[in-house]
Amino acid sequence: MNQLKLIFTFSLLLSITLTAQTESDTISKKNFWENKNIIVGYQNGYVFSTNDFLRGRNAQATKLDEYQDFHLKISKQTNGEKLWEQIYNYPEWGFGTYVADFHNPQEIGTPIALFGFLNAPFVRWDKGAFNYELSFGATANWKSFNPITNQYNNAIGAGQSFFIDAGLNLDFELTKNIDLVTGFSLTHFSNGALKIPNSGINSIAPKVSLRYNLYEKPEFIKQTLPKFDPRNELEFSAFVGAKNLVFVDSVSSDIIEQYEGLLYPVFGFTTCFNRQVSRKSKFGLGINFVYNSTVNAEEAAKIATNTNDFDPVVGPLADKIQISIFPSYELVVNRLSLILQPAVYLYRKKTLNQSPAFHQRIGLKYYFDNDIFIGMTLRDYAFHVSDFIEWRVGYRITEK
């Protein structure tokens, strides 16, 4: 579990790095709180019944389909000093925290989150805007699965998880310093199969917030945009990951230790050809090669039952190789990109209880300079079940 906590700590630091569009060159010249806002809000909505625990197979024998949260955010309203701010119609970005209540603290806990977010307008008018908002972060304080004390909770297998949130909202100016923000969002909680069981929790909820502007709202700077020429790029990246598997047998007497399971390594590389068609969007086609050491793990468990040895049996290399192909869309925000990649396996060994060939990849990518990037990609299937997380570093070759 110490390894798992280190992974979550690293992911939280990475999410802060990926989300923050820092402005160290100007912050020393201005009051720190200039163009900053404080946002407080409430959300109450519906939890999708995607597993038996949420459908009512729990200690309360009650369907768990409601939740609420209280959130606090600090944001910066951009004013167009940088070109990307004008391109995205002067968005706000920042960091936040919230406390969630799933109305079953004994089995789910009271999750607490830390996240980064971007709130960007589709349309602006004099005293309001219609926006889309994207958030990514880490959540702790779950009551995770325990085979003795919390045996029904197959939704959350660890005390920590990641979450991705996407939504729409409208904001209206109430006074010179206060705005009302109303909307809704979809949220996915998962630990990326770093600890199973991990069926995950998915929700949709309306939300209402009040935004307090610490200073007068900034005047937006309008620059003359240079001509944009579409261009091609070829990127290469390598990644590592891990996947938790649990094998329960009748030999070992320590059921808790058995449910800790083992972390199996996953690694590989990806290449993708992209064409940037606008300042905001890239479309592409890629191929992904994976070495997945969990492929032979179930067979290894059967062989090891009598010896209580859960080390995987080393099989042929070809059995552990998985190859998939995907179309790619990339939303570009300055040095940060949001990646959406529906994918399908071209090659993999057939096994029992195999996940669907069609799967999804969603991730973040951050460029340190024009060509070198780091990122993370969540691979899942059925749009809600996590397979594993790819932690990647890469390089791109761009058409001049």
Domain ranges of the chain: 2-213, 231-398
Distance, C-alpha 311 to centroid of its chain: 30
Residue 317 — very low, low, confident or very high, per pLDDT cuts 50/70/90? confident
Q: What is the mean pLDDT of residues 98-123?
A: 95
Q: How does pLDDT run across 196-209, given as a tens digit for each residue?
A: 888 899 999 999 99
- Domains 2-213 and 231-398 alike in fold: yes
Which pLDDT does position 319 carry in this prediction?
A: 86
- Spatial distance between the Cα atoms of 395 and 392, rounded to a whole number of angstroms: 10
**Assigned CATH for 2-213:** 2.40.160.20
**pTM for this one?**
0.84
Is the pLDDT score of 21 beyond 70? no
Structure tokens at 278: 């606008």
Q: What is the mean pLDDT of residues 233-239?
A: 97
Is the pLDDT score of 56 beyond 80? yes
Q: How does pLDDT run across 124-152, given as a tens digit for each residue?
A: 998 999 999 999 999 999 999 988 899 99
Structure tokens at 53: 């625990």
Distance, C-alpha 133 to centroid of its chain: 14
**Assigned CATH for 231-398:** 2.40.160.20
Let me know if 276 is exposed, middle or buried by CB neighbors in 10 A (0-12, 13-18, 19+): buried
- Spatial distance between the Cα atoms of 17 and 26, rounded to a whole number of angstroms: 18
Longest CA span, the chain = 73
With a CB cutoff of 8 Å and minimum separation 6, the contacts of 240 are 265, 266, 267, 390, 391
Residue listed under structure tokens 């770093």: 194
